Amino acid sequence: MSDDLQQNTVASRVVSIDALRGFVMFWIVGGGMIFITLAKCWPNNFTEAISRQMTHAKWDEAFHLEDLIMPMFIFVVGLVLPFSVLRHLERGESRQRIYLLIVKRTILLIVMGIMVENHGLHFNLSELHWPGVLQRIGICYFFAAMLVIHTGWRTQAIVMGAILVLGWAAMMLVPVPGYGAGVITPQGCLAAYIDQQFLPGRFSTEYYRFGDSNGILPTLMSVSTVVLGVLAGHWLRTKRSGNYKAAGLAIAGIICLFAGYVWGLVFPVVRLIWTSSMVLYAGGYSLLSLALFYWVIDVKMIRKWAFFFIVIGMNSITIFFMCSFVNFGEITNFFLKGIAEYAGSAEHLILSIGAVAAEWLFLWFLYRHKIFLRV
| pLDDT tens digits for range 336-354 | 988 888 888 899 999 999 9
Report pLDDT digits (tens) over 129-181: 889 999 999 999 999 999 999 999 999 999 999 999 999 999 999 999 999 99
Q: Which of 6-20, 39-53, 353-367 has the least mean pLDDT?
A: 6-20
Residue 229, domain member (yes or no):
yes
Residue 4, domain member (yes or no):
no
Residue 230, domain member (yes or no):
yes
Q: Crossing angle of helices 65-79/276-293, nearest 10°?
A: 70
Residue 46, domain member (yes or no):
yes
The number of distinct structural domains making up the chain is 1
- Supply the DSSP symbol for 57: P
Report pLDDT digits (tens) over 293-336: 999 999 999 999 999 999 999 999 999 999 988 999 999 999 99
Average pLDDT over residues 111-127: 84
Report pLDDT digits (tens) over 40-65: 999 999 999 999 999 999 898 889 99
Residue 374, domain member (yes or no):
no
Residue 1, domain member (yes or no):
no
- CA dihedral of 226, 232, 233, 235, whole degrees rounded to 10: 150
Mean pLDDT, the chain, whole residue set: 92
Measured CA to CA, the distance from residue 230 to residue 375 in angstroms comes to 18
Residue 281, domain member (yes or no):
yes
Measured CA to CA, the distance from residue 339 to residue 227 in angstroms comes to 48
CA angle 264, 269, 272 (to 5 degrees): 160
pLDDT of 5:
35
Structural domain for 232, as ranges: 10-368
Residue 3, domain member (yes or no):
no
